[in-house]
Every structure is written in structure tokens, then in C-alpha cells.
Amino acid sequence: MKGIRWSAARWGQVAACCLLLGGPALQAAPTPPAAPVARYWVRLRHKAGVRFDPATYFSPAAQARRRRQRLPAADSTDFPVRADFLRQIRATVDSVTLVSRWFNAVACHATPAQVAHLRQLPGVASVEQWERRPGLAAGQPGTAERGTPTISADDRQLARRQTASLGGPLFQQAGLAGQGLRIAIFDVGFVGAVRHPAFEQVHREKRVVATYDFVRRSPNVFVGGTHGTEVFSCIAGRLPDGTPLGLAPQAEFLLARTERLTREIYAEEEAWLAAAEWADRNGADIINSSLGYTDRRYFPEQMNGHTSLVSRAAEMAVRKGILVINAAGNDGEDPDWHTIGTPADADSVLTVGGLDPDTYLHIDFSSYGPSADQRLKPNVIAFGTVLAAAPGGYVRTQGTSFSSPLLVGFAACAWQHNRSLTVMQLFKQLQASADLYPYFDYAHGYGLPRASAFLDPKSTAGAAPPTVDFIRQDTVLAVLIRSEAAVIPAQVLPLYSDSVALVGSARKVPAVGREELAPPLKQQGERQLTQSQPSQEPEPLVPLVRPGYLYWHVADRRGVLRSYEVREVTQRAVLQIPLRTLQSGDTVRVCYRGITQSYSRP
């Protein structure tokens, strides 16, 4: 008998006829849809009965750090989670993606039915679902950024200025280059860093002591992207003639890949936490995080230092004696965000904003403070345009991603100078070393840190004479620069001139971690220098003198700024503030030539 081929449509017709006749349908029942799987954060009840030996878990460097920081050898947050609790969870859920000692918690994927079962387990304290947000692209995928072997005279000047602006020559003269410090770098990948001549000495001396890719769960971090290579070079890289690109070329390094190039998902925060626990175990003194998470998963009002998992992880790292330094972000020109990201919002994270090397003012793309709960952010600033190493050579690039590692190198030298400092003592001294301190605003923080504040405190702690006078008139508070402070090179400021100008600049860059090449400077008298032909006699360094700006702000009685501004000083009568704009308890602070003076409204 000849076979008959039945189509799906014919089977449907037969089934429909059977139903009309009251008979059983011939087609099989449809397969029910699979239960949706979501990401959950499972908190455990306790660690009772867990045994833990710090000497076998922590590296010798980690144990030494805890002794220096006067911390116990271990506390309960260092203990592993209970093995029986973890076995029960693994047997219940779809998959486990993270086990955190610090938070006694597990991240997992599970269905609603599995979650219902999870909540009944005796060791589970709570189960929280990660907020569901669309997975938007964080950046456009493309070819890895490549450098050029040609180094112009302007590039070389920038390379020298990015460290000299922080007092690099003083650290070098004192023999401070990060020796004995261990620095962890969290980034998207370190493509090209293994063979790049900028890191030749670091690799020859085997000072990359550990690596791990927390995205792919592999020791190989030299994949993914070049951003981490550029960041790494702003701490430890060198030009062919030995010129340092960062301030800690003699430090040891832990390299961690925690980020994907083209997506921002919660798994990256889990990877950041896992990397922080790994860095703690392996003896990190400092964590550099040139990463930030913003509107793809949070709202600006959540930038309060305790909402995101990554900000809480950063705070925990500081409790372990690790200095965490994070880029402020590159959203300064984004009207929908504008503010810092996370973990830069954490209270004890040293947040670094970007400085324009041409004007010595906040560079416009750098994110502004304060935090959502009105704390000072950024804390300090450093150059936001740098020369960095990239596969094939060197690139001029920009972003607060590079301000942060410049500050990491500075902090390493400062800590090397005085290893007895606790992490928060160092944090406060880094702020106090800045050139605007005690003045601050939400663009510059306390300003640009100075090596002289650590190496020669007397030179920065002297009682300098006042530079301005406050004069209360009928309806205004006038600020006049004193005659003895009005002498600047080549001129004496008049009492009045045609105008007093606000100052600023306009540039755009992508989100933090997605920086692009910086526009080239004016090429005047440029001399090309290649890796094979380094300069024998470096060009004289352009003088590093901050222009004579006047910074001023109005703070309420809680110290929260109502307003702030920077003025280019062209006359002695530099500022008039209407008294009607000042409320009772307000304080007006003015910083001119490094001297801060205050006027309080009764």
C-alpha cells in the first residue's frame, strides 16, 4: 500500500473534526512554555560551625597588609559560606553564578517554582530578584584601539605633564615609584599588554603576580579590549626613552577582567565583587576601577553609596584595608544623568574627576557631584587627557578612566612614603594634599593632589597671608583681591576692568570605559620621535602653573553647596554677591592663589 504523507495542517483538520464529533483529538497536547529564569540574590542566615584558617587562605601579602592596618587576621565576613547551605541551593536552582564570603550570599538563576522552594530552605534568610531592565548596548563594538609608534613633541610633553602635574619629579627624586605596593586593576581586558614595550620592565621582573578573567572564568585577561592596557600604562607604563606614563612603575599588579565590552548587565557587578574578594585574598593594597554603572540599571537618585551591589562591595574592600580609587564618570555633558556613577558614589571610595591639561579646570565631559545624598564627589582631580600605551604604540586619549590610574600611582607613592597610615588616614591625607583644600566644589573636589604635601608638609602648611577682603555693602557682599595679591606676572590687576569672565571648555567623550582618542593639540614646531629613535635630550617641560582663577561657592549650614563658580581674574573687584541670595547660616568661601577665606551670613 502506498504511504500517505500527512501535513501538520491536515492533522489539525482531523483534530478539529474529532472535536466537532465529540471524539478525542488525534494531535498531542501542546508543550507548555518553559518557566522563565531570572537572576536572584540569596542571603544566607549564618556561618555557624564553619572552620577557617586565615594563614592558609590569605596570601602572605594580604596577611602583612592586615597587620599594617591593625586589622584582625580574619573576621566572620572572611569565612566561607556553609557548604551544606550551598549544596542545597545548587540542588534547587538552575545555576549558581557567584558565592560571596563577604556578604554570605549566593547569586543564581532560578525559575519562580525554584524560588518558592529556595525560600523554604533552612539556611536561606531572603531571596531578592535583581531589577529587570532592558539589556541596552553600552558601546558600539569595533576594532580594538591601536596606537602609533610615532610620538610627537606635544605627545611627549603631555606624557611628562600628566605625572609632573601631581609632583611626579619630587616622588622620583625621593626614590618613590610604588615599590612594595600591590595594585589591582579591574577593567574590560588587557589586549596587547604582554608584549608591549611600555611594560617590558614590569614583565621582566615578574611583577604581574596574578591575573583572572571573571567574565570567562579563565586566567587569561589579555583579551576583550585595550582599555585596561591604556589604564595599566597610566600607572606603570613607560615611553621608549624611559619617561614614565604613571607614578608607580615599580609596583606589583593584579589584573582582573570584570567587564564586557558591549553590554552592561548585573553579572558585571557580581564580577566586580568576586574580583574584590580575590584582590583582598591576594594582598592588594589599592584597587583601580576605571568603570562605572549608570542609567542602564540605575536612576541618579540611587547614587547614594549603598544601593548598588558594587558600591557595597567597594565599601567592604575599604574595611579590609584596601584603598579603592574609582573614575567619576564621563557623563558631565549628559543632561539626563550628569552625575557620578557607581561605585564612585560610595563614601569611602576616592572618586577622581577629570582636569583639562590646557586650562587646569574641570574638563566638561567629567561627571559632576554631589552624590545623591549630598556628599562631596568627586574627591580630587587629575588630567583627563593623557598619553597612554595601546597595541602598536601610544595614543593620546581622554576620559576620567585615565584620571583614576594617575591618582592610583600618586597614592601608591604616598603610601610607600608612610606605610603606617591606615587606609582612611591615607584617604583623608590625599584630599588634604590637593591644591584647593579646604575649598571644594562638585566639579573639582578638593583639586589636584600635590606630592609636596607628603614629602615637605611644612611647605604647604604655612600660614599664608589672606588674598581677598569681604566687604559688606548695602545690598551686596563684595569680594576684592588685596593689593599685595594683585601682582601677577607682567601686570598688576586694576581695581576694575571691562568684565570678569567665567571660564570653561566644551568636549565630548563616550561613557566611562568607552573612551575615544583625544583630539590632537596644535602641532607647532612638532618633532617626530619614534620608538626606535627616542629623544636624547627631552624638550624643556612646559611650566606647570595653575592660572590665577578665583573659585567661590555658597554652602548651607550643613555644608551642602547651593552654588559654585570659577572666575578668570582680570580685576581686583572680582565678585559681588547680592545679599538677598544668601540665607541665614550660609557660608561664602573664596579660594584664590591657594588661600581659602570664608564669610558667614548671620
Please list the active-site residues.
187, 227, 401
In the three-class reduction of DSSP (H, G, I as helix; E, B as strand; rest coil), residue 60 is classed as helix
Burial of 297 (0-12, 13-18, 19+ CB in 10 A): buried
Q: What span, in angstroms and rounded, lies between the C-alpha atoms of 577 and 589?
A: 12
Grid coordinates representing 365 are: 565631559
Phi, psi for 236 (deg, rounded to 5) = -130, 0
Asked if residue 353 lies in contact with residue 380, where contact means CB atoms within 8 angstroms, the answer is yes
Listed residue (95, 240, 213, 82) closest to 155, CA to CA:
240
Q: List the alpha helices (DSSP H) in 463-559.
A: none
In the three-class reduction of DSSP (H, G, I as helix; E, B as strand; rest coil), residue 419 is classed as coil
Grid coordinates representing 61 are: 601579602
Phi, psi for 337 (deg, rounded to 5) = -130, -70
Grid coordinates representing 292 are: 562605572
Grid coordinates representing 436 are: 584647593
Q: What span, in angstroms and rounded, lies between the C-alpha atoms of 463 and 459?
A: 10
Q: What span, in angstroms and rounded, lies between the C-alpha atoms of 43 and 123?
A: 9
The angle formed by the CA atoms of residues 11, 35 and 8, to the nearest 5 degrees, is 10
Q: What span, in angstroms and rounded, lies between the C-alpha atoms of 492 and 512?
A: 42
